Amino acid sequence: MNSGQVRSGLIIVDKPQGWTSHDVVGRLRRLAGTRKVGHAGTLDPMATGVLVVGINKATRLLTYIVGTTKTYEATIRLGQATVTDDAEGEVTTETIAAAVTDEEIRAAVANLTGDIQQVPSSVSAIKVNGERSYAKVRAGGEVNLPARPVTVSRFEVHDIRRENGGRLRDVDVTVDCSSGTYIRALARDLGAALGVGGHLTALRRTCVGPFSLEQASTLEELAEDLRVLDLDDAAADLFPVRSLSAAEAEDLSHGRRIGATGNGQPGPVAAIDPDGRVVGLLEDKGEQAKALLVFTPGNEKA
């Protein structure tokens, strides 16, 4: 696609290993020919998989995508703990995990499934006194983050095998979880529960909300064909849809209130005009619908 041709929408990227999410945003700014690009939820450089990127107006949808559920495929190594809870960090302890049985692993996994209290990884992007936690740790400081509630709706073991002459055990898993769940922390906590330490050696995000790897493109593919999911289609994929009359669309686009959706949906609803264009996002407040955001008509970048 010519860099001068930009439109609002989402790009579903299959992030390569070794790239930061910021690196991907920078690359897509050049490909799309616009500075107005952002992503919906960081993936660590070690991780690969689905990264949702917004272009122009669609960047305003990103805050709603960040809170959606995620699915990951991961490999957890038992017998070693690291400073970062993944393979990029220095090994801090090593314990022979040969005696840990498959049944013990599966039982510990079950205890980390459901609604749990999780202490985020110390190398997360959470701010502590205005400083990113990972920056403080990498500078040699100590961080004690409070536990917070997360939901691990699926923590499924696919394979358990012995490595390094049986001293270590690798566990391949799939995790469905709420926003804010750290898979590195699950690896750390699984190893701690088994008394041998643990860390993440591989991580691939396969789904973010309704978007999956099936829709994702590599950066090489995007350089050849910048596949953008149109803003109107993206909103309809992400949220329940309310079809507006022409009069309602006119009122909403000019900041005037309209009647409540009345569908009992607790979250945002995509308001779509008679031509199939998204006008904004709505949320019921009593007998009226509150506009969470309204897209400026006729201005591609607004």
Of the listed 44, 170, 189, 273, which one is catalytic? 44
In this prediction, residues 193-212 reach a mean pLDDT of 97
| Percent of the chain with pLDDT strictly greater than 70 | 88
Q: What DSSP string runs through 238-271?
A: HS-EEEPPHHHHHHHHTT--EE---S--SS-EEE
pLDDT value for 1: 42
- pLDDT of 72 over the 60 cut: yes
| Calpha distance 39→53 (Å, rounded) | 4
Q: Which helix H or strand E contains 288, and what residues bound it? A: strand 288-294
- Residue 15 near residue 21, CB atoms below 8 Å: yes
Q: Give the dihedral of Cα atoms 144, 147, 150, 155; nearest 10 deg.
A: 70
Model pLDDT, residue 42: 87
Decide if 102 is catalytic. no
- Assess contact for 300 and 56: CB atoms under 8 A: yes
Cα distance between the two ends of the chain: 21
pTM of this structure = 0.90
Mean local confidence (pLDDT), 247-258:
89
- Is residue 283 within 8 Å of 290, Cβ to Cβ? yes
